[in-house]
Copies of this chain bind each other. A is one copy, B any other.
Amino acid sequence: MRTLKYAILGLINRNSMTGYDLMKVFNLELVNFWYAKHSQIYPELKKLTDDGLITYETVLLGDKLEKKLYSITQEGRKDFLNWLAKQDQLEPTPKDIFRLKTFFIESMTREEMLKQFYYQLDQRKAKLKKLETSMSQHPYSKEISDIASPEYGDYIVLKGAIMREHTYIDWLKGCIKEIESFTKPHF
């Protein structure tokens, strides 16, 4: 579906940037809903350049280090906006290895079940904490801004990520409670 293409176009549309910048944005800001390694980004940038959707100018950093600063073209912007406005069918539900393991829970001992759930819970709690830290530092949450600002998109996807993580944690806690109630000795 060429989603990486449009993610890159959208980011370059916001600000001109290098492949390295894109890599950082993917693995910091977008990490809650999209990401890519540099080995995928650089070939895609080349392709988009060949297709005339972006252009670059070479910028020097220091004496020798050449970096390519990419900008979007008219054609690129048109393509991006067209993708953005398109109404998509629901994607397939995302894959989730932990849920898959949970499906096979009957093949675990109760000790294994609980060990898995508690480990997952710890990790999810740590992740939620990080997200909440990001939120507390987010410019949009500090002052009521306009929905037409780039920070607004940032802000609502972060809010969504926090809600998602909260729900995962609630689900884990519910499972743990249920399993423990069955684990207790019967008399």
| Interfacial residues, chain A to chain B (CB-CB below 8 A) | 1, 3, 6-7, 10, 13, 30-35, 80-81, 84-85, 87-108, 110, 112-113, 115-116, 119-120, 123-124, 127, 146-150, 152-154, 156-157, 159-161, 163-164, 166-168, 170-171, 174-175, 178-179, 182
The verdict on A95 contacting B34 (CB below 8 Å), with A81-B107, A164-B164 known, is: yes
- A96-B91 in contact (CB<8A): yes
CB within 8 Å for A98 and B91 given contacts A146-B182, A164-B167, A167-B167 = yes
- The residues of B that contact A108 with a CB separation of less than 8 Å are 84-85
Q: A106–B152 contact, CB under 8 A? A: yes
Report the minimum CB–CB distance from A19 to chain B (whole Å): 19
Identical chains bound together, number? 2
Residues on the B chain within 8 Å of A174, using CB: 159
**Which residue of chain B is the closest to A148 with respect to CB atoms?**
B106
Interchain CB contact under 8 A, B124 and A90:
yes
Nearest 7 A-B pairs (CB), nearest first?
Answer: A94-B94, A33-B99, A167-B167, A105-B153, A33-B96, A103-B153, A10-B104
Residue of B nearest to A27 (CB): B92
| A91→B84 contact, CB < 8 A | no
A161–B91 CB distance below 8 A: no
A-B contact pairs, 9 of them (CB 8 A): A31-B92, A33-B95, A81-B107, A84-B104, A90-B124, A91-B97, A94-B94, A106-B149, A163-B171
In the complex, the answer to whether B152 meets A171 with C-beta atoms within 8 Å is no
**Of listed A96, A103, A148, residue having the most chain B CB within 10 A:** A103
